[in-house]
């Protein structure tokens, strides 16, 4: 897929595409009066129902595709646009239309971004394991942007960076576990750090993890022939970003992402049933998502300090595997009895949360395909999240909404906390019947003090076994965009609060007492 953003149609198009979303995108300025009437009658017809989506009609003697963007139930209008753009791109490629002109002169920037992402999503395929790779027909989309050309070009650059991160996430997740071992993941992260200005990397191997007391990784990873690793990626936008340098401002926030990175989860000695095992190639989705998000954040040079901790291990069966009943001491000094070797994600995350504290996190967001209970509770379309800070929780919901990613707030229910207590150790790694809550309460025991923390359980949303929205079978890339948006909003919020502080200091505005 190629895009070409122009102010007026070049005349090179083989077909025109008109988006219809409750008339929020108009196109009267580009059509003849006669054609406008024709469009009007088609749109009225669409309201009545019989209209076929993506139908080709002759308008102004041009083949024109009408894209009905309000088809799917439960989606926001931005998501409808994305879906519609995805369907359009698939159809145009299938019909081998070389150039499609999309009339977007009246679109709002966020509508344009959503459409672009829909086109990008249509381009994704994962055929690395097919014996023959099929080349999809390449369509060029000419975006007619009117006076918004310059603005749209900037948005297109941002969308391309975000799409690259989504593609990276999906590729890592879809790669099978013998090909993406913890060491291979580290290789990928090293390459990314090398080629992303401003991004630094620290890698701890088994020996270093053990020496420094990151025993969650050691406990989970020791049963595998592939040793565990913990990666810490750091980007300081308050120093390296051009924008921040220009403004000479530093936000005090340090946003740290922590990702569960089980390159495979057999369940360990508490072996999983065969049916639910193949999907466990996706048990490193959290780590893939935080790696891709920090890469995009650094590339976008957002003026904020962000780090990403990837907790990598393989939960395998071997003669050194952790035994049910074994007790280890976690990095923060608490002792943990391994009641169930399949509840391994929370063990490696205890190290990730400790590392976030050691590097000075003010805000932590952890992402983990943590519990089957979350899949049963919310399915594949909504991620449940737990949060100890109201402002951060609201931010997560709002950022998710802006990115067409749905989040539902779940309770850190204290009444269930006693169920985590063990006879011998301080804690055990299983709890009450409310499995997703029990896991979150366990993690909370390892959150550094005075730190805003959100835990996203993406077990349902990270990987789908049937096609969903603009994703085929496999990884969805869920979470990448919301993480980037969170960093974006936190950086601009710190800009705004500093603006306010500066104005106060200058005495420009009188302080109003309430
Ligand atoms: N990786 C799984 C959770 C999971 C399930 C992810 C389905 C994606 C899809 C996790 O490590 C796990 O096995 N959790 C157990 C915990 C239980 C043993 C307390 C679960 O949810 O069954
Ligand atoms: Zn497990
Ligand atoms: Zn797991």
Q: Does the beta carbon of 459 sit less than 6 angstroms from any atom of ligand 1? A: yes
349's enclosing H/E stretch is helix 345-358
- 375 in ligand 1 pocket by Cβ < 6 Å? yes
Nearest atom in ligand 1 to 265's CA: 1
> What pLDDT, on a 0 to 100 scale, did the predictor assign at position 512?
35
Q: How many CA atoms lie less than 13 Å away from 19 in the CB half-sphere?
A: 34
**89: nearest Cα among 123, 64, 63:** 123
What HEC string does 404-439 produce?
CCEEEECCCCHHHHHHHECCCCCEECCCCCCHHHHH
- The answer to whether residue 376 is catalytic is no
What's the rounded Cα separation, in Å, for the pair 386 and 377? 14
Substitution candidate for ligand 1 out of 269, 370, 435 with most atoms within 8 A of CB: 370
Best mutation site among 259, 369, 372 for ligand 1 pocket (most ligand atoms within 8 Å of CB): 372
Q: How far is the CA of 207 from the centre of ligand 1 (A)?
A: 27
Tell me the pLDDT tens digit for each residue of 280-330: 999 999 999 999 999 999 999 999 999 999 999 999 999 999 999 999 999
pLDDT value at residue 503: 46
* Nearest alpha carbon, ligand 1 atom 22: 372
Half-sphere exposure (CA, 13 Å, Cβ side) for 443?
36
- Nearest CA owner, ligand 1 atom 13: 342
- For 447, list phi and psi in degrees, rounded to 5: -75, 130
Return the number of other C-beta atoms located less than 10 Å from residue 478's C-beta: 28
CA distance 46 to 100: 22
CB atoms within 10 A of CB 182: 29
pLDDT digits over 145-159, tens only? Answer: 989 999 999 999 999
The encoded tokens of residue 392 equal 């951060």
Q: Enumerate residue ranges in the chain where pLDDT < 50.
A: 50-51, 241, 244, 247-248, 500-514
Q: What separation in angstroms does the CA of 386 have from each of 75, 257, 368, 417, 472?
A: 23, 14, 12, 14, 28
- For residue 373, the ligand closest to its alpha carbon is 1
Residue 257's alpha-carbon distances to 290, 377, 438, in angstroms, are 6, 24, 21
| Closest C-alpha to ligand 1, atom 3 | 371
Query: Given this model, what pLDDT does residue 351 score?
Result: 99
Q: Which two tokens stand for residue 511?
A: 């302080």
From the list 374, 512, 513, the residue with the least C-alpha distance to 443 is 374
Q: How far apart are CA 337 and CA 88, in angstroms?
A: 53
Q: What pLDDT was estimated at residue 58?
A: 77
Residue 452 to residues 179, 365, 497: CA-CA distances in angstroms?
36, 9, 18
Question: What token pair was written down for 472?
Answer: 């085929």
Query: Cα of 248 to ligand 1 centre, how many Å?
Result: 46
The predicted structure's pLDDT at residue 471: 95
Mutate-to-test residue for ligand 1 from 276, 316, 371, highest number of ligand atoms within 8 A of CB: 371
Q: What are 245's two structure tokens? A: 């340098």
Is any atom of ligand 1 closer than 6 Å to the C-beta of 340? yes
Tell me the C-alpha distance between 398 and 325, whole Å: 42
Ligand nearest to the CA of 380: 1
Catalytic residue among 170, 331, 346, 428: 346
Alpha-helix runs per DSSP H in 102-181: 109-123, 149-174
- Looking at residue 35, its pLDDT comes to 75
Q: Are strands 254-265 and 363-368 parallel, antiparallel or unpaired?
A: parallel
Tell me which DSSP letter residue 125 carries.
Answer: -
pLDDT of residue 511: 34
Burial class (CB in 10 A: 0-12, 13-18, 19+), 203: middle
Kindly list the distances between the CA atom of residue 430 and the CA atoms of 75, 123, 419, in Å, as whole numbers in the listed order.
Answer: 35, 42, 8
How far is it, in rounded angstroms, from Cα 112 to Cα 95? 24
Whether ligand 1 lies within 6 angstroms of the CB of 481 is answered as no
Query: Strand 199-204 to strand 229-236: parallel, antiparallel, or no bridges (unpaired)?
Result: antiparallel
Q: Are 260 and 370 in contact (CB under 8 A)?
A: yes
Of ligand 1's listed atoms, the one at least distance from the Cα of 345 is 11
Q: Determine the Cα angle at 278 with ends 184 and 312, to 5°.
A: 30
* E-state strands within 199-288: 199-204, 229-236, 254-265
- Which distant-in-sequence residues (6+ apart) come within 8 Å of 174 by Cβ? 126, 128, 281, 474, 475
The Cα–Cα gap between 319 and 136 comes to: 47
**Do residues 19 and 102 touch, judged by C-beta distance below 8 A?**
yes
What one-character DSSP code corresponds to residue 513?
P
Please give the torsion angle defined by the CA atoms of residues 59, 60, 62 and 63, in that order, rounded to the nearest 10 degrees. Answer: 0
- What distance in Å separates the CA atoms of residue 126 and residue 4, rounded to the nearest whole number? 25
Is 87 tagged catalytic? Answer: no
Q: Is the CB of 369 under 6 A from ligand 1?
A: yes
Range 420-426 contact pairs with CB under 8 angstroms and sequence separation of 24 or more: 420/445, 422/336, 422/337, 422/339, 424/327, 424/337, 425/327, 425/335, 425/336, 425/337, 426/334, 426/335, 426/336
In the reported structure, the alpha carbon of residue 122 is separated from the centroid of ligand 2 by a whole-number distance in angstroms of 32
Gap from CA of 18 to ligand 1 centroid (Å): 45
Query: Could you tell me the pTM of the whole model?
Result: 0.93
The distance in angstroms from the start CA to the end CA of the chain is 55
- The DSSP string of 212-250 is HT-HHHHHHHTTSSS--EEEEEEEEHHHH-HHHHHHT--
């Amino acid at each position: 897929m190629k895009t070409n953003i122009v102010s007026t149609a070049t005349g090179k198009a083989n077909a025109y595409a008109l988006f219809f979303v409750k008339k929020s995108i108009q196109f009267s300025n580009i059509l003849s009066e006669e054609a406008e009437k024709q469009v009007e009658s088609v749109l009225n017809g669409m309201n009545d129902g019989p209209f076929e989506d993506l139908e080709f009609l002759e308008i102004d003697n041009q083949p024109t595709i009408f894209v009905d963007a309000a088809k799917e139930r439960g989606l926001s209008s931005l998501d409808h646009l994305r879906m519609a753009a995805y369907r359009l791109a698939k159809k145009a490629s299938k019909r081998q239309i070389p150039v499609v002109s999309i009339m977007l002169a009246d679109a709002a920037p966020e509508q344009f971004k959503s459409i672009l992402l829909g086109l990008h999503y249509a381009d994704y395929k994962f055929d690395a394991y097919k014996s023959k790779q099929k080349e999809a027909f390449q369509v060029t989309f000419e975006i007619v942007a009117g006076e918004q050309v310059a603005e749209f070009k900037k948005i297109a650059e941002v969308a391309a960076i975000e799409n690259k991160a989504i593609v990276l996430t999906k590729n890592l997740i879809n790669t099978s576990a013998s090909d993406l071992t913890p060491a291979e993941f580290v290789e990928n992260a090293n390459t990314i750090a090398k080629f992303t200005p401003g991004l630094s990397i620290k890698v701890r191997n088994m020996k270093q993890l053990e020496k420094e007391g990151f025993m969650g990784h050691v406990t989970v990873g020791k049963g595998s022939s592939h040793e565990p690793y913990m990666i810490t990626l750091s980007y300081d936008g308050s120093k390296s970003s051009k924008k921040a340098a220009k403004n000479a401002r530093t936000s005090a926030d340090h946003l740290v992402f922590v990702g569960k990175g089980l390159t495979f989860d057999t369940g360990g000695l508490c072996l999983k049933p065969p049916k639910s095992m193949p999907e466990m190639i996706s048990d490193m989705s959290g780590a893939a998502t935080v790696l891709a998000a920090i890469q995009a954040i650094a590339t976008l040079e957002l003026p904020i300090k962000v780090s990403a901790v990837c907790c990598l291990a393989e939960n395998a069966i071997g003669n050194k595997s952790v035994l049910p009943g074994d007790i280890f001491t976690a990095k923060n000094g608490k002792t943990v009895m391994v009641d169930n070797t399949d509840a391994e994600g929370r063990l490696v995350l205890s190290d990730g949360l400790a590392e976030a504290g050691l590097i000075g996190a003010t805000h932590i967001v952890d992402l983990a395909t943590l519990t089957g209970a979350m899949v049963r509770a919310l399915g594949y379309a909504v991620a449940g999240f737990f949060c100890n800070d109201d402002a951060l929780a609201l931010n997560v919901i709002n950022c998710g909404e802006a990115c067409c990613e749905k989040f539902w707030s779940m309770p850190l229910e204290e009444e269930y906390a006693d169920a985590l207590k063990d006879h011998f150790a301080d804690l055990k790694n299983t709890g009450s019947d409310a499995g997703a809550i029990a896991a979150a309460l366990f993690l909370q025991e390892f959150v550094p003090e005075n730190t805003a923390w959100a835990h996203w359980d993406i077990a349902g949303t990270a990987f789908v076994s049937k096609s969903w929205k603009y994703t085929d079978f496999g990884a969805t890339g869920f979470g990448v965009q919301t993480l980037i948006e969170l960093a974006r909003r936190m950086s601009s919020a710190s800009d705004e609060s500093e603006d306010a502080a500066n104005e106060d200091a200058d005495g420009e505005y009188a302080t109003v007492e309430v």
